[in-house]
Amino acid sequence: MKKYILTIIVLIAALAGAQAQSETTSFDVDGIKVIFKPTKKNIVNVRMYFRAGVFNYPPEKAGIENFAIEAATQCGTKKYPGNEFKDAAEKYSILVSGSSTLDYGFTQINCMKKYFASAWDLFSEAIMNPTFNDAEVQLLRNKLISRTKGLQSVPDSRLDQLLMQNGFEGTPYASEPDGTEETLNALTAADIRDYYNSILNKNQVFLVVVGNVDKDELISKVRASFSAMPVKPYNPPEYQVPAFNDNKLLVEKRDISTNYIGAIMNSPRFTNPDFVPFRIGIGVFSGFLFRQLRTNLHLSYAQGAHVEPQMMPYTEMYVSTTNPKDAVHAMIQMLKRIRQFTLSERGLNEVKSSFITSNYMQQQSSAAIAASLGEAEILGGWQYEENLPAAVDKISVDDITRTLNKYIIGVRWSYLGDAGLANDAADAFKERVN
């Protein structure tokens, strides 16, 4: 018992320490917001975020943003035409990439500190002066089509696609940020150039820099590179978050060795005070799934649950199993149990301790830190990410129970595998949690 009390004291100190060590700052440089976190390590990561995503284009143009931002980093620039850009990056093993997802896109560089000047040169070129060379765009199109086909072939990624289609039917989230063969083939080099120019806007971008970089040097680089970026009005979209209050099942048949089953449920928004206790509660629920489905019932190797904090947030749970009927029934039982479960104070402290480990594990690389700060800024403010340990420290057992009951209601199931076994599990898929 004495040892246990000591653990709690040390835990609280660590949570407080995590908050106190925050060194992230943000500032404006010629109209561009810069979020800067200095680190001690040798790798620098810089990201230019574009506030856009699937709400920014129609479904028939699915993939255009990802194509455009990736093409900006792969299809030549004014200073480095064609393959010269890739060759220049390769010389110092500088990773330059661009991509887009549901709510945003970003261009990033990742390099050793001693090659930062060369990396920044490529970064600013890719953002400000991409040329979208026709031949290079065609080569990239072939790669992207191959990649989208690959994503459809891999069960986990295909299940994710089915989850979005079933949960967000009728909203932009149901379309694929990577596009499809059909939509990618229909996009011309001019289409992606025009789209890229439409989001290159000081009011729509912000910069995240993580690394052992001098702040004054950074400011002068930002000013020199991006002061000429256009300034245009930007009106963020209105997000009408669907409420998942009923059950619904989408099945896709595939002849594979096991069955992939997922479900999405409600979640509070990232900026909602309910978010942190709910996220911790889902972490506890994920532990329930592990103990029950894997350890006690040996129904699965892979199962779990987590919160996806998008602009339209959701909770996801998943399992792969050869026994869908029992696994789905067990998941519903666990949902019922977690809604009625009251975590002990000791249990709460263990959950917080586990959170410290997970949180710091994600704070080791400059890329991971930049990703979490960037996403938090998109969703409401980078400070939410910085303040997360303190927010976790404040939550109570009641907060967790209340938020789980408030948001866990309907379950939108998606299924990839043996359709006959899905049919056998029909009743389980219809089981209500409340």
Task: Give the footprint of another protein on this chain (CB under 8 A).
Answer: 4, 7, 10-11, 14, 17, 39-43, 83, 86-87, 90-93, 110-112, 115, 138-139, 142-143, 146, 149-150, 152-155, 254-258, 260, 286-287, 290-291, 294-295, 298, 300-304, 306, 320-322, 347, 350-351, 353-354, 356-358, 360-361, 363-366, 368
Instruction: Answer for the pair 342, 396: CB distance below 8 angstroms, yes or no.
Output: no
First to last CA, the chain: 38
Residue 45 has φ and ψ, to the nearest 5°, of -125, 130
Report the residue count for the chain: 434
Q: Please identify, using beta-carbon distances, which residue of 15 and 62 lies nearer to another protein.
A: 15
Q: Please identify, using beta-carbon distances, which residue of 7 and 405 lies nearer to another protein.
A: 7
- What's the closest the beta carbon of residue 79 comes to another protein, in angstroms? 17
Paired tokens of 433 = 């949690």
Paired tokens of 267 = 């979640």
- What's the closest the beta carbon of residue 158 comes to another protein, in angstroms? 10
Paired tokens of 365 = 């690389």
Residue among 140, 1, 4 at smallest CA distance from 63 = 140
Instruction: Answer for the pair 207, 50: CB distance below 8 angstroms, yes or no.
Output: no
Q: Please identify, using beta-carbon distances, which residue of 43 and 186 lies nearer to another protein.
A: 43
- What's the closest the beta carbon of residue 70 comes to another protein, in angstroms? 13
Q: Please identify, using beta-carbon distances, which residue of 205 and 369 lies nearer to another protein.
A: 369
Instruction: Answer for the pair 129, 79: CB distance below 8 angstroms, yes or no.
Output: yes
- What's the closest the beta carbon of residue 194 comes to another protein, in angstroms? 25
- What's the closest the beta carbon of residue 248 comes to another protein, in angstroms? 24
Q: Please identify, using beta-carbon distances, which residue of 14 and 397 lies nearer to another protein.
A: 14
- What's the closest the beta carbon of residue 161 comes to another protein, in angstroms? 13
DSSP single-letter state for residue 102: S
Rounded distance, CA 393 to CA 382, Å? 18
Give, for 29, the enclosing helix (H) or strand (E).
Answer: strand 25-29
Q: Please identify, using beta-carbon distances, which residue of 150 and 236 lies nearer to another protein.
A: 150
